[in-house]
Amino acid sequence: MTKTESTAWHQDIAHVVHPYSNLDAHSTLGPTVIARGDGCYVYDEHGKRYIEGMSGLWCASLGFSEKRLVDAATRQLNTLPYYHLFSHRSHPPGIALAQALTAVAPEGLNHVLFSSSGSEANDAAVKLIWYYNNLLGRPQKKKIISRLHGYHGVTVASGSLTGLAHVHRDFDLPLPRVLHTDCPSHYHFGLPGESEPAFTQRITDNLEQLILEEGPETVAAFIAEPVSGAGGVIVPPAGYFERVQAILKKYDILFIVDEVITGFGRTGRMFGCETYGLQPDMMTVAKGLSGAYQPISGLLLTDAIHDTLRAGSRKHGAFAHGLTYAAHPVAAAVALETLHIYRDRDIVGHVREVAPYFLEKLDALAEHPLVGQVRGVGLIAAVEITADKAARKPFEPTAGMGAWIQNRTMEYGVIVRTIAHCVALCPPLISERQHIDELFGGLSRALDDALVHVRANK
């Protein structure tokens, strides 16, 4: 048996269906089995150490060994391992979390509906928007606009919102009444010679045009991540959201902000809403809400929307929506402790302190012959890989450059994620300079090797 072919390795191939993995190639490639974590590091089953430059899936913001979260889970497991919120029941961690979360949330978001994942939170947003407009007596106002390359999940409704062709293809998505508008990436979608302000004007004009063509009386909501993550880390151009919000107001369209990645300090403010001046009617959170130690998410609502839901109950009786594990007490207790850690250790302040160093290291990669663009804010960034810098041309998918760079980076003990044509970086919020050095050290070496590889294969 070779080092990579442990019993676990064989059992994985035999039985595990892997999300976002090539299921055919997996039968020969097999898994990298990650066995334990410590601070900003994880270790595979053979004991090799990696710096986790992606916080897992943009989520383990406090790293992989936060004792306070373990203790919070243990205390709750010993007190009340499960209860629910159906039929007017409640439990202390659920109540305390709702209080703490709405206290730090942007102004006006005073109510929260819990679920377990980002996809479920966005699914709930879609359902509540439809329900809300039915209650308001405008059943025709139902369409939801999201953006190409936006990522909002994979369930039937949230997968429809996600603006990625491979998430829709052959899954019979998107649902009708979900529309997609432009991705705000000037690098990828700017016309030749078009300035960034002109690009912003053009794509927001397109949004208004789409609303007018569909009929504003049929468009209910627009959803966006402040910084798109899984669609390729798209940092919005200056003035983009200002213009979008003015258009939404003009046509009485609700704004759903998906803070699943950007929430809780990632962009250097508590929420991306603060970084970009957003005033949402609904906001979804997950991932960093519990530092990923437990699966929990939330959909936050304004008083106005909540009042309408209450009116619905006056008409229909019980609000007919709810999940068994919504506000699961162990998850809620861990999330509450996570919010306390963010406060006690001023994690947002820490992000603001280390982000300039992180972004400086990022900028230094811009000169590399294989790098077309670098972009980032706070502790989230992307390095765009290009075959031709001047023409902004990506490598052909068949060249497998993304996987090549990702694998080589792993050989150097660094975990990053390649998405489309970029390398995404999203290290734990507790990262110090030394972790940032290790992250960029491994990545730069891998890029240098990639250049040698590309030149050798020309």
Report how far residue 59's alpha carbon sits from residue 230's, in angstroms, rounded to the nearest whole number.
12
Residue 188 vs 287, nearer CB to ligand PMP: 287
The footprint of ligand PMP (CB under 6 A) covers 57-58, 117-119, 122, 151-153, 225, 229-230, 258, 260-261, 286
Cβ 45 to ligand PMP, closest distance in Å?
Answer: 24
For residue 131, the number of C-alpha atoms closer than 13 Å in the C-beta half-sphere is 20
Cβ 325 to ligand PMP, closest distance in Å?
Answer: 13
CB 111 within 8 A of CB 300: yes
CB 365 within 8 A of CB 373: no
Report how far residue 314's alpha carbon sits from residue 311's, in angstroms, rounded to the nearest whole number.
5
Name the residue with the smallest CB distance to ligand PMP: 118
Report how far residue 246's alpha carbon sits from residue 142's, in angstroms, rounded to the nearest whole number.
20
CB 399 within 8 A of CB 421: no
Token pair for residue 134?
A: 């039915």
Cβ 297 to ligand PMP, closest distance in Å?
Answer: 6
Residue 256 vs 365, nearer CB to ligand PMP: 256
Residue 146 vs 308, nearer CB to ligand PMP: 146
Residue 417 vs 435, nearer CB to ligand PMP: 417
CA 297 to each of CA 52, 135, 279, 285, 419: distance values in angstroms, whole numbers, following the listed order: 23, 25, 20, 5, 24
Cβ 434 to ligand PMP, closest distance in Å?
Answer: 27
CA 54 to each of CA 196, 272, 428: distance values in angstroms, whole numbers, following the listed order: 29, 18, 7
Cβ 437 to ligand PMP, closest distance in Å?
Answer: 27
**Which residues neighbour 171 within 8 Å (Cβ) at sequence distance 6 or greater?**
159
Residue 20 vs 319, nearer CB to ligand PMP: 20
Where do runs of H (alpha helix) occur along 106-252?
Answer: 118-135, 156-161, 165-168, 186-189, 196-214, 240-250
Residue 122 vs 308, nearer CB to ligand PMP: 122
Cβ 311 to ligand PMP, closest distance in Å?
Answer: 29
Sheet holding 282-285, edge to edge: 109-115, 297-302, 282-285, 254-258, 219-224, 143-147, 178-181
Report how far residue 109's alpha carbon sits from residue 129's, in angstroms, rounded to the nearest whole number.
15
Residue 58 vs 131, nearer CB to ligand PMP: 58
Give, rounded to a whole angstrom, the gap between the first and last alpha carbons of the chain: 36
Cβ 171 to ligand PMP, closest distance in Å?
Answer: 15
Residue 261 vs 450, nearer CB to ligand PMP: 261
Cβ 326 to ligand PMP, closest distance in Å?
Answer: 14
Return the sign of the alpha-carbon dihedral for residues 336, 358, 261, 209: positive
CB 71 within 8 A of CB 445: no
Residue 237 vs 263, nearer CB to ligand PMP: 263
CB 214 within 8 A of CB 179: yes
CB 418 within 8 A of CB 53: no
Cβ 109 to ligand PMP, closest distance in Å?
Answer: 17
Cβ 455 to ligand PMP, closest distance in Å?
Answer: 35
Residue 299 vs 365, nearer CB to ligand PMP: 299
